[in-house]
Amino acid sequence: MSRPADGGRQEGKAYLSTIDRSLVQALPLFAKMAPEALDDVLRRAASFRYPVGQAVFEQGQLAEHFVVLLHGRLRVTQVTPEGQQVVVRVVNPGDLFGIAKALRRSDYPGTATAVVESIVLAWPMGIWSDLLEQHPALAVNAMQTMGSRLLEAQQRIREMSTEEVERRVAHTVLRLANQAGRKDTGGVRIDFPISKQDIAELTGTTLHTVSRILSAWESAGLVEGGRQKLLIRDPHQLLLIGDGLRPGLL
């Protein structure tokens, strides 16, 4: 969303001058909005395309836009001062993100990177308050977005506080399946490339431990792995592991 001074990175380009209402009216974010209101909101948006690996915005950058993901998938990461990376969350189509204003920040707290080719709608951050005040339904919906994220964050905290790694990995995988699962032959497939490292950073463990756990699950027929691939064969058993009801497989 920026024009970095270093110029090294190619920004996504606007590819639609007007955005059609039909593209977005089904999104929960725009629920209960009158067609004219929706048109007003869309008129102020620009659309951008990002190829795999490109950042929509980066941690620490001045937050110039807030964004809705139309198509694709993003991974939001944060890097600690010591250089350790954490995956904050996965952005799914329809999600609102980059709303630094709502967090009373002027910069982005994390980096959002396209893990598959992605298309976003972006608005200048300056009109955030205006838009909310002019479209109360939008404010309510945006708040629910934040609410879901808060609940998910608290769930992760609870898990990290009380559960051992194998259970946490089970919960992480199940959450991914809920957010980005697609029925496939013999199971539910995570619909975008996800590495063991990603899963580790979502769970608060190491790549090595995730690999060992998934290997064990694969031997037991619960999942099927692969390079940046994950197919869940038996979600129910995974649920049992997550609830600590199944003897660990390690």
Partner DNA sequence: CGGATTGTTGAGGATACTCAAGTTAGGTGG
Partner DNA sequence: CCACCTAACTTGAGTATCCTCAACAATCCG
Which residue stretches of 44-164 are H helix?
A: 128-134, 136-162
Chain CA centroid to CA 92, Å: 5
Instruction: Report the residue from 88, 112, 174, 177 that binds a second copy according to the rule CB under 8 A.
Output: 88
Q: Binding string to DNA for residues 192 to 231, with x set by CB under 7 A, is what?
A: ---xxx------xxxxxx-xx-xx---------xxxx---
Q: Binding string to a second copy for residues 31 to 60, with x set by CB under 8 A, is what?
A: ------------------------------
Q: Give the phi and the psi of residue 29 in degrees, each rounded to 5.
A: -60, -30
Q: Binding string to a second copy for residues 200 to 229, with x set by CB under 8 A, is what?
A: -x--x-------------------------
Asked if 143 interacts with a second copy (CB under 8 A), we say yes
Give the DSSP letter of residue 220.
Answer: T
Instruction: Report the residue from 16, 116, 132, 180 that binds a second copy according to the rule CB under 8 A.
Output: 132
Burial pattern 98-113, b for ≥16 Cβ within 10 A else e, equals bbbbbeeeeebebbbb
Q: Are 199 and 169 in contact (CB under 8 A)?
A: yes
| Contact of residue 153 among a second copy, DNA, none (CB under 5-8 Å per partner type) | a second copy
Q: Are 111 and 34 in contact (CB under 8 A)?
A: no
Phi-psi region at 83: left, alpha or beta (left = phi > 0; alpha = psi -120 to 50): left
Asked if 144 interacts with a second copy (CB under 8 A), we say yes
Q: Cβ of 4: how many Cβ atoms within 10 Å?
A: 11
Say whether 183 sits in a helix, a strand or coil.
Answer: strand
Asked if 127 interacts with a second copy (CB under 8 A), we say no
Residues in contact with DNA by CB under 7 A are: 164-166, 195-197, 204-209, 211-212, 214-215, 225-228, 250
Residue ranges in contact with a second copy by CB under 8 A: 78, 80-82, 84, 86, 88, 99, 102-105, 109, 129, 132-133, 136, 139-140, 142-144, 146-151, 153-154, 156-158, 160-162, 201, 204, 243-244
